[in-house]
């Protein structure tokens, strides 16, 4: 019988039950994390130090690098530390924070990619209007809107998920906290909520994806209409 009560800790899945494989996965994730971290830090240093790169496009790329660093830092370090320390538990508060920041940063990442696609559309399809349309104020507003969109998406999801206080268990079949796995822990019937969350997230991702595809269709069409190689 499930223990239908509130819990203070969540038990996460380990990389492997075999110690040698655990070490292998730890090294693999460490290399991936350090590579992503160093790559994005080098991008940030280049964008900050080179004054010729202080323009809207590179401003968006700077925000994208910051989001990438923060997203991977939310996911990877905690499972790696748990793996080496042979710890499987994570407090309920930390799991709440992990879900919140992961949804916030990933949502902002999707929105920012859409903003970058629009920026490239204006630059290539309407080059004479680029300086007027993509001025500093517009750049700040668009970058801020991407962060705000991610924040609102995260608040809506986490508010609904963690409104539950009754648990039927505390074991998550994954190495970090994700919503589909957390929904399985609650005593209440969560199938409708899980379907709603999946549909909402899918629609949000498809909407951003459609805008990106539409922007690049216009870009490719504009490039193909250029009559000469020099042009």
- In the structure encoding, which two tokens stand for residue 178, read together? 């994700």
**CB neighbours (10 Å) of residue 77?**
13
| Buried/exposed 28-52: b ≥16 CB within 10 Å, e otherwise | ebeeebeebeeebeebeeebeeeee
Number of H helices, E strands in the chain: 8, 2
User: CA-to-CA distance for 219 and 201, rounded, in angstroms?
Assistant: 27
What is the structure's pLDDT at 1? 40
Hey, where are the domains in the chain? 9-224
87: Cα separation from own chain's centroid: 26
What is the structure's pLDDT at 69? 92
User: CA-to-CA distance for 216 and 231, rounded, in angstroms?
Assistant: 19
What is the structure's pLDDT at 196? 75
E strand or H helix at 138: helix 136-161
What is the structure's pLDDT at 231? 64
User: CA-to-CA distance for 17 and 159, rounded, in angstroms?
Assistant: 34
Longest dimension (CA), the chain: 74
What is the structure's pLDDT at 215? 92
What is the structure's pLDDT at 2? 44
pTM of the model: 0.78
What is the structure's pLDDT at 130? 87
For the stretch 71-88, pLDDT in tens is 888 888 877 777 777 767
Nearest 5 degrees, angle CA 160-CA 165-CA 166? Answer: 120
Name beta bridge partners: 186. 167
What is the structure's pLDDT at 63? 92
Token pair 């790329």: residue: 61
What is the structure's pLDDT at 182? 67
What is the structure's pLDDT at 222? 87
For the segment(s) 9-224, the CATH number from 3.40.50.720, 3.80.10.10, 1.20.1070.10, 3.40.30.10 is 1.20.1070.10
Query: What is the DSSP code (8-state) at residue 13?
Result: P
Q: What is the mean pLDDT of each run of 10 residues along the chain (231 residues)?
A: 52 67 81 92 91 85 92 82 72 77 88 92 88 86 91 80 61 65 62 70 86 92 80 64
What is the structure's pLDDT at 216? 92
């Amino acid at each position: 019988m499930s223990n239908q009560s509130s819990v203070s800790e969540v038990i996460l899945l380990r990389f492997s039950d075999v110690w040698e494989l655990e070490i292998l996965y730890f090294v693999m994730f460490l290399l991936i994390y350090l590579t992503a971290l160093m790559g994005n830090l080098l991008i940030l240093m280049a964008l900050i130090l080179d004054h010729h790169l202080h323009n809207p496009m590179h401003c968006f790329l700077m925000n994208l690098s910051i989001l990438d660093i923060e997203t991977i830092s939310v996911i990877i370090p905690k499972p790696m530390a748990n793996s080496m320390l042979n710890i499987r538990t994570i407090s309920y508060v930390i799991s709440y924070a992990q879900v919140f920041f992961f949804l916030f940063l990933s949502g902002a990442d999707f929105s920012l990619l859409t903003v970058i696609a629009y920026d490239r559309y204006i630059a290539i399809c309407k080059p004479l209007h680029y300086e007027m349309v993509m001025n500093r104020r517009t750049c700040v507003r668009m970058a801020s809107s991407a962060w705000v969109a991610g924040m609102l998406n995260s608040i809506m999801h986490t508010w609904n998920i963690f409104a539950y206080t009754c648990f039927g268990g505390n074991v998550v079949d994954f190495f970090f906290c994700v919503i589909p796995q957390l929904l399985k822990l609650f005593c209440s019937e969560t199938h409708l909520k899980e379907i709603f969350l999946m549909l909402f997230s899918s629609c949000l991702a498809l909407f951003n994806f459609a805008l990106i595809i539409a922007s690049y269709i216009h870009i490719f069409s504009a490039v193909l209409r250029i009559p000469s190689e020099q042009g």
